[in-house]
Structure 1
Amino acid sequence: MEEAPPPPIDQESVNDGRALVEREQRQGDVISPSRAVLTLSKSMFNAGCFSLPYAWKLGGLWVSFFMSFVICGFNWYGNHILVRSSQHLARKSERSALDYGHFAKKVCDYSDLRLLRNNSKAVMYIVNVTILFYQLGMCSVAILFISDNMVNLIGDHLGSTRQEQMLVAATISLVLVAITNMFTEMRVVSFFALVSAVFFMLGLLVIMQYTVRQPNKWAELPAYSDFTGTIMMIGMCMYAFEGQTMILPIENKLEHPEYFLARFGVLPTTMLVCGAFMTALGFYGYTGFGDAIAPAITTNVPKEGLYSTVNVFLMLQTLLGHSVALYVVFDMFFNGFRRKFTNRFPNCPKMLVDKGFRFFWVLVTYFMAIGIPHLEIMIPLVGVTSGTLCGLVYPPLFEMITFWTDWKGLLTYRQRMAKIVWNCFVIAIGLFTIVAGVYSNFVAIFQSFENPDVPQAA
């Protein structure tokens, strides 16, 4: 059996002072670069993608087209500097890997500011709560997506009103997602991602071929919309790149972590493929159906013949994708929970602790889904808050703190100021998006309670 080629030398890591110790090949529950690309792509190719045509309707055709590339670029940048900073601190602290919360703690622990060092645990808790809300939001969207498509197929058998139908469908979904979340190893989760990707591609191909055969309406569609619609569109597009919180868990399980940021490595490959697919889906979906586009494009596809299988394929891929998203929560919180719980209840079986912890969080996502049963509201709300924090605010902030001392010794004053100004600009955009997005989404939520059977984001 041939040995794997040596990992590429990251010249950039040498230039910014990160090459402190040589990283060894990881052992145990690890995955290959191709499996990492597949798992990360699957975490982005999920239920949120099928709401992108609706997001383009909210933002206007050409504004949405332009913003798709901008949002992809910002997410790529945030993910890149997040991994660079994490790998640097992992080497500095002589640890093989860091999850997002412990990475935030190490950022503060190694900072020159006493205020940050004294409050490193508080920062870790803030980051963990952000990621928790983000992952739970994604999982609740998955349940909503499954329920929405189930109602589209067999809604007449589930109840007389839309609210009753969604409640019954969500309860059925709860049983199914609970089963898929009972598995623990990354290898199993990545296998789910593989199977899920197959279902996703089958469903996407059928939807795309149907969409491109529709009379194209691009000349009739508005180029832009109002401020609220644009902000909602940004939130939905940010949500579509829902893999931000899977970045570090996947990098931590990569056999050769140097392959993650390599020129044709895991992150560049994933971002290019996902960005191209998402832009194509948004453009052709919106120009194919125009103002008739639904919050999920799957409900614009006919229910008979081959097209009825599309809903089934995409429900299955979302079902498996739920376990991929919730893996982040288990990975971050389970060890600490188990340690404290077993100290207090030493006679409780370990399997009961494990499965009970998992089912509890699945149940939380179920209650979130039935609390706000509108995809067009839940998706931008999650994307514009936690998604923007994880993608545009935390990474540049943590990079500046992590490399502040290194930049003083390795960069000229002009280079250092350019990095600082750019990162502050990205943070400012993120904070503005959050404030505007929260306002727009709460307006939509209040309207949804007044008219529960009418989509409110339009």
Structure 2
Amino acid sequence: MDGDKSITVCNDNNDYNPFEHRKVEKPNSNVRSLANLLKASLGSGLLAMPLAFANAGWVVGIIGTIIIAFICGHCVHIFVDTSRGCCKAERKPLMSYAETCRATFANGPKAVRPYARAASIFAELSLLCTYVGVCCIFTVLIADSIKQLLDTYYPVVILPVQYYCLILLVPLSIMTQIRHLKWLAPFSLLANILLVATFGICLYYIFKDKISIEGKAMAGDISRFPAFLSTVIFAMEGIGVVMPVENVMKKPQHFLGCPSVLVIAMSFIMVLYSVLGLFGYFRYGDVLRGTITLNLPVDDWPAICAKSFIALSIFFTYPLHFFVVVDIITKYTMPHVKDKYRNVTQIGLRTFIVWFCGKS
């Protein structure tokens, strides 16, 4: 029992306040942080919610979406609260995702302390692989959206999607040179506006004619429920961006609590996902395609705008997810670069990562 007294618990209460010791070069306001957090969880997955409801049934879909939103928000709350506790325990102003994993193991029970370094490496490798994959997918999604629009409305030259990916790498390389989340926030806000506009256009087509719930299942086949879960979790999940957002807030104490940046973001996300999923399923039923924009008519200007807006929204979201990748890589590369070469190295490294993801 005496040995247990020496164990430092991460949420140990002491007089060290990490917020007072943070020195952030470009701090974000609550509004900017909210925009970044919303954009991390609000993406093209929103438009797949009607298909998710088709898989689960509309009653199960509503209940499931609320429960998943609560679980995702609660997990983020636990992680951020634990990170702050570890900051107090180790007297550090802030910690990244991987540093929090290391500190949790290092200050936990003696049996897990030897695995602290392994936990940090596993967390960073998992984040790196996840967000490199996201960047690869985003490149293809944007290129495919552009190809669909041009092939339909300007079929003078039909190019393979690979050529559009190649062309797209140039503006993406320029966009990813933004190095502070503060300057990414306006793009995240614009992406949110475009996504909400797409959401509004979809609602316009959904409510254009009378909606009937006849033939719409309250509960879907149990074999299709995993598809519902995976779609909703993919659409809502944005854990990799949480710590970068919280760490650069001007008032990080406003991230948790009620009301807080996290509560407002998750509530907004839950409502948007539930509304589009429910009524999108009521309108199109089992003929829903991967995203609801594919069910929109191809000859109406509102539908054309919706397809354009979603491509632009993903384009403006790319740098936010890219930030996770470059943050991990520069952490290990920049200490080995001389100060006078760091700016050039940053430019080259960011460009290389974009082209690597695009070619992958």
TM-score between the two structures when normalised by the length of structure 1: 0.70
Tell me the secondary structure at the aligned position of residue 119 of structure 1.
Answer: helix
Alpha-carbon spacing, 1:221–1:94, altered in 2? closer, same or farther (3 Å)? same
The alpha carbon displacement at 1:228 in A equals 4.2
Alpha-carbon spacing, 1:308–1:359, altered in 2? closer, same or farther (3 Å)? same
The alpha carbon displacement at 1:136 in A equals 2.4
Q: Percent identity?
A: 19
Q: Which residue is equivalent to 1:349? A: 341
The alpha carbon displacement at 1:72 in A equals 0.6
Q: Which residue is equivalent to 1:315? A: 311
| Correspondence 1:15-414 to 2 at 5 A | 17-18=12-13, 20-22=15-17, 23-24=19-20, 26-27=22-23, 28-113=25-110, 115-155=111-151, 157=155, 165-303=160-298, 304-340=300-336, 342=337, 349-368=341-360
The alpha carbon displacement at 1:335 in A equals 2.4
What does the per-residue CA deviation read over 1:320-345, in whole Å, with 9 as the maximum and x for residues that have no partner? Answer: 101111112222331212224x2xxx
Q: Which letter maps to 1:79? A: V
Alpha-carbon spacing, 1:116–1:17, altered in 2? closer, same or farther (3 Å)? closer
CA distance in 1, matches of 2:163, 2:151: 9
What is the RMSD of the two structures over their aligned residues, measured on CA atoms?
Answer: 2.3
| Residue range with higher mean Cα deviation, 75-84 or 199-208 | 199-208
Tell me the secondary structure at the aligned position of residue 96 of structure 1.
Answer: coil
CA distance in 2, matches of 1:366, 1:61: 37
The alpha carbon displacement at 1:348 in A equals 8.8
CA distance in 2, matches of 1:203, 1:142: 17
The alpha carbon displacement at 1:85 in A equals 0.2
| Residue range with higher mean Cα deviation, 274-283 or 228-237 | 228-237
Alpha-carbon spacing, 1:288–1:187, altered in 2? closer, same or farther (3 Å)? same
Specify which structure has the bigger relative contact order, considering alpha-carbon pairs within 8 angstroms and separated by 6 or more residues.
2
Q: Which letter maps to 1:111? A: G
CA distance in 2, matches of 1:126, 1:175: 32
CA distance in 2, matches of 1:322, 1:367: 16
The alpha carbon displacement at 1:193 in A equals 0.9
Q: Retained in 2: the 8 A contact 1:196–1:317? A: yes
What does the per-residue CA deviation read over 1:261-306, in whole Å, with 9 as the maximum and x for residues that have no partner? Answer: 1211111111111111111111122221112222121222223323
CA distance in 2, matches of 1:211, 1:171: 35
Q: Which residue is equivalent to 2:6? A: none
CA distance in 1, matches of 2:264, 2:325: 25
| Residue range with higher mean Cα deviation, 261-270 or 191-200 | 191-200
The alpha carbon displacement at 1:18 in A equals 4.1
The alpha carbon displacement at 1:103 in A equals 0.8
The alpha carbon displacement at 1:119 in A equals 2.4
The alpha carbon displacement at 1:89 in A equals 0.6
Aligned length: 345
Q: Retained in 2: the 8 A contact 1:149–1:298? A: no
Tell me the secondary structure at the aligned position of residue 24 of structure 1.
Answer: helix
CA distance in 2, matches of 1:209, 1:195: 21
CA distance in 1, matches of 2:118, 2:343: 31
CA distance in 2, matches of 1:311, 1:18: 51
| Structure 2, unaligned runs of 5 or more | 1-10
Q: Retained in 1: the 8 A contact 2:72–2:237? A: no
